[in-house]
Amino acid sequence: MPSVALPRRAGRRTNLGLLALLVVAGLSGLLAFGVGTPLPSRVVAAVHGAAGLGLLLLVPWKTVVVRRSRARTAGRRDPAVAWALVGLTALTLATGVLHTVAGTTVAGVGVLQVHVAAGVGTGLLVVLHAVGSRQRPRRRDASRRALLQAGGLAVGSLALWGAVEGGQRLTGAPGGARRGTGSHERGSGDPAAMPVTQWFTDAVPEDAARTLDLVAGGRTTRLRVADLDRGDTVTAVLDCTGGWFAEQEWRGVRLDRLLADVDLPDGGSVDVVSVTGFRRRLPLSDAGALLLATHCAGRPLSAGHGAPVRLVASGRRGYWWVKWVARVEVVDGPWWLQPPVPLQ
C-alpha cells in the first residue's frame, strides 16, 4: 500500500506545482504590462521568467503522471484538451525564451506577441483542464512537507532564471542588454529606426488634429499644435509592451506649464485623449513630468510616432504615451478610476 499511495501524492503535488507556476506566470505577465519603473519592472520580470522556466523542472515528474493517467483512463477521457494544453504551454515557453534571448520578429510579428497570445490560450485551457480533472483542495496540500517542496521549487526556479540571465551577460547575447521589463533596444537616438506600433485597438489616423482642446476650469481653450513647441525637453525611454524600448530626446511643452493659469482641483486627474478616441487618465501631481511632444531627436514627429503631438510619460509603459493628442481635460476624480489597460 505505501508504494502505491506515495506516487499518488507525488502526482497530485506535481499537478499543484504546475498549476501554481502557471498562475504566477500568468498574473506576473499581466502585471508586466502596467509596470514601467526600473525596480518594480525588474522584480515582476524576474518572477515571470522564473515561473515560466520553473515549469521545465517539473517535466520529468509530469511525464510519469501522464503515463500513469493514460493507463488508468484509457478510453474514458478525451485527451484533446490535455494535448492542446501541452502544445500551447510548450509554445509559450519556447517563444518566451526566444524573446528573452533575441527578441526577434517573424513576418512582421514580434515573437513576444506570439508568446502573449499562446499564454492567453494556455490560461483558458488550464481552466478547462482543471475543471475536467475534478480535483478539490485538501488539508494535506498545505502540510509542512508540501510547503517545503513548494519552497524548493521556487528556489530552483529562481536559480534557473538567474543562470539563464547570467549566461546571457557572460556570452554577450542580445538578451543580456534587455531592460528590466524584458524589452530589447530598438532605435535609440534615431526615430526612423524606432518601430511604429500602437495599442492593438488603435490605428494610425488618416488626418491627425492640428489643434488641441484644453478643457479645464469649466472652459475650453483651443490651442494650435504649432504653438506647443515651447522648447521644453526631456530624455525619456519609450518602453513598448511589444517588447522593445528606445531612449530619445523629446521636445514640446510640459503639462504643468500648459496648466499654469488653471485653478486645479486637489487630487484631480487629467484625461489625455487621442483623435482616435484612445485615452489615458493620469494624476495631476505628475503634470511636471508629463510632456506634450511635437519633436523627437530634434525632428518633427512622424505620423506613425504620433504627429503632430503625443504624450511623453516617463516611467510608464508605451500605452500611456497617448499618440495624436486632440484633447487634454482636467477632471475632478482619481486617476485610477479607469481600466488598468486601454479597452477602446
User: Beta strands of 244-314 (E only): which ranges?
Assistant: 244-254, 269-274, 279-283, 290-296, 299-300, 310-313
pLDDT digits (tens, 9 = 90+) for 54-87: 999 988 888 887 777 766 655 555 678 778 888 9
pLDDT level of residue 3 (50, 70, 90 thresholds): very low
C-alpha cell at 153: 521549487
pLDDT digits (tens, 9 = 90+) for 111-132: 888 999 999 999 998 888 777 6
pLDDT of residue 7: 47
Least Cα distance to 267 among 319, 325, 336, 340 occurs for 336
197 in helix, strand or coil? coil
Q: What single letter denotes the amino acid at residue 267?
A: G
Which residues, in sequence order, are CB contacts of 322 under 8 Å at separation 6+? 272, 273, 274, 278, 279, 280, 306, 310, 311
Distance CA 125, CA 172 (A): 37
Question: 191-331, what's its fold?
Answer: Sulfite Oxidase; Chain A, domain 2 (3.90.420)
pLDDT of residue 78: 63
Distance CA 185, CA 238 (A): 10
Distance CA 312, CA 168 (A): 31
* Residue spans per domain, the chain: 2-183, 191-331
Task: Determine which of 129-143, 179-193, 200-214, 249-263 has the lowest per-residue pLDDT on average.
Answer: 129-143
Out of 173-177, 201-205, 320-324, the most confident range is 320-324
